[in-house]
Amino acid sequence: MILTVTLNPAVDHTLEVDNLPEPAEVARTDTARVDPGGKGINVSKYLVELDAETIATGVVGDFLGRFVRDSLGDDGITNDFVDIAGRTRLNTTILTDEAEYKINHDGPTVDSSAIDDLLDIIARYDPDTVVVGGSLPPGVGPDSIDRIARAGDWQTVVDVGGEVLHDLDASYALCKPNREELAAATGIAVDSRAACYDAVERLRQSGYERVLASLGVDGAIMATPNECLHAAALDADIVDTVGAGDSMLAGVLSALNRGATDEEALRAGVAVASRVVSVPGTDVPPFDDITRAIDRVSVSRR
């Protein structure tokens, strides 16, 4: 079973307008949605659609926190969160015909007692894999993620900022940076595929058994103890990139959980992400025929 931890969940508010308004003008839209969000939560949402067993946990508070709990429950996603006094954050994405704009809250302050409660929840479910994803709220540092990794026999996967990846001390089964996070974690300017290969391998040697780097239109690289793989991106009608990296991680983990090889898992991750970018927000598209997309993913070795 794959348990996901979102230390700084959000309610994702996504809306579409033709153009941003001028100062003092009002833009109106009838195309808007709200979804429970945060990297770990998103991974669980995609895992459910991929028929992988998952539980979502983390830290939530106030009426937006209740929305996260209730929405996940309504969608059939098992969840067990720690309640705090602060308010879960609201993240807004504005889509226009020409661009995508994001405004994210920092999130509520979380103290060490909430992390203690979270560790109790994780231990209660005894998962095979724990995925820690997303930004860290005020009051929480990389040491809290290290505590989670060291607290049990589970494999720990992280999808966090590059600076946090650099500062983690425990051993991890896999991390999933994007291009910017890869540069921040390694100090390497990743402006070419060769540089990305070097950065991925350097990061892997710093305490990560596998590194999965999502590179947008340049596809993805996965470094393992035995090889370094590159998967080309599939052609897709891109509507919204929110959740693309989370869905890639879910595709890879669901495949590995079924006993797939690293190459098969990388193909699955890229194929799943290509579906997700074609829908707005963190809406989950159907993956019933994902095998056809997986077969079209081209993988090469360095």
Residue 205 burial by CB count (10 A; 0-12/13-18/19+): exposed, middle or buried? exposed
Please give the Cα distance from 278 to 272 (Å, whole number).
Answer: 11
Q: How many residues does the chain have?
A: 302
Residues 6+ apart with CB under 8 A from 178: 213, 214, 215, 216, 245
Largest CA-CA distance found in the chain, in angstroms, rounded: 58
Choosing from 146, 159, 246, 262, the catalytic residue is: 246
User: What secondary structure letter does DSSP report for 161?
Assistant: -
Active site residue 246: yes
Half-sphere exposure at residue 53, Cβ-oriented, CA atoms within 13 angstroms: 8
Q: Which residue in this structure is represented by tokens 């896999």?
A: 174
Please give the Cα distance from 273 to 112 (Å, whole number).
Answer: 35
Report, as residue numbers or ranges, the catalytic residues: 246
